[in-house]
């Protein structure tokens, strides 16, 4: 099923318009390293992938090592209930920012983090409200903070 889904995305990849495919796990799914390892082994290597784990049991060295071995990004995501560790597992980074309003201080901190991650490899930043005017403002504010404005 996953390989069929990935196959449907290949035309986007051929045109250079495909970012990483995000696998966002449910909040009640606890760590199953064997399941993750088997799934990662089945993923095609020609499409970048990222995982957003939403149960804290996944935040462990064995999981990070499996992601690194497969060059799959650990999604650093914001959540009201969970804080994801600042871990790099691939040659690209994936940030999922969910808050609707950021203070100037927080925008600057995010911008500094983004600049650091961009030096390590390609960076993908997604906002929860990207389809709204607030999402566009987040992007503009992040760029302005990165430029020291």
What pLDDT is attached to residue 86? 93
Q: Can you tell me the distance from the alpha carbon of 55 to that of 46, in angstroms, rounded to the nearest whole number?
A: 28
Q: What pTM was estimated for this model as a whole?
A: 0.83
Q: Can you tell me the distance from the alpha carbon of 74 to that of 33, in angstroms, rounded to the nearest whole number?
A: 14
DSSP at 80? S
Structure tokens at 97: 């920012």
The structure tokens 């994936």 sit at: 94
Written as tens digits, the pLDDT of the chain (149 aa) is 677 888 888 888 888 888 899 999 999 999 999 999 999 999 988 889 999 999 999 999 999 999 999 999 999 998 778 889 999 999 999 998 887 777 778 878 888 888 888 888 999 988 775 555 555 555 566 665 555 55
What pLDDT is attached to residue 74? 98
List all residues 6 or more positions away from 12 whose beta carbon is below 8 Å from its beta carbon: 18
What pLDDT is attached to residue 51? 97
List all residues 6 or more positions away from 13 whose beta carbon is below 8 Å from its beta carbon: 46, 47
H or E segment and range at residue 63:
helix 61-70
What pLDDT is attached to residue 83? 86
What pLDDT is attached to residue 72? 98
**Phi-psi region at 67: left, alpha or beta (left = phi > 0; alpha = psi -120 to 50):** alpha
What pLDDT is attached to residue 140? 61
């Amino acid at each position: 099923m996953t390989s069929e889904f990935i196959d449907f995305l290949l035309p986007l990849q051929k045109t250079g318009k495909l970012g990483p495919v995000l696998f966002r796990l449910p909040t009640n799914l606890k760590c199953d390293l064997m399941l993750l390892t088997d799934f990662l082994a089945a993923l095609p290597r020609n499409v970048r992938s990222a995982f957003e784990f939403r149960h804290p049991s996944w935040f462990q060295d064995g999981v990070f090592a499996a992601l690194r071995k497969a060059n799959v990004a650990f999604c650093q995501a914001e959540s009201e209930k969970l804080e994801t560790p600042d871990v790099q597992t691939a040659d690209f980074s994936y940030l999922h920012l969910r808050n609707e309003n950021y203070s100037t201080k927080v925008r600057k901190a995010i911008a500094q983090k983004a600049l650091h991650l961009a030096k390590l490899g390609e960076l993908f930043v997604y906002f929860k409200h990207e389809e709204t005017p607030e999402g566009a403002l987040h992007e503009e504010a992040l760029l302005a903070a990165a430029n020291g404005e």
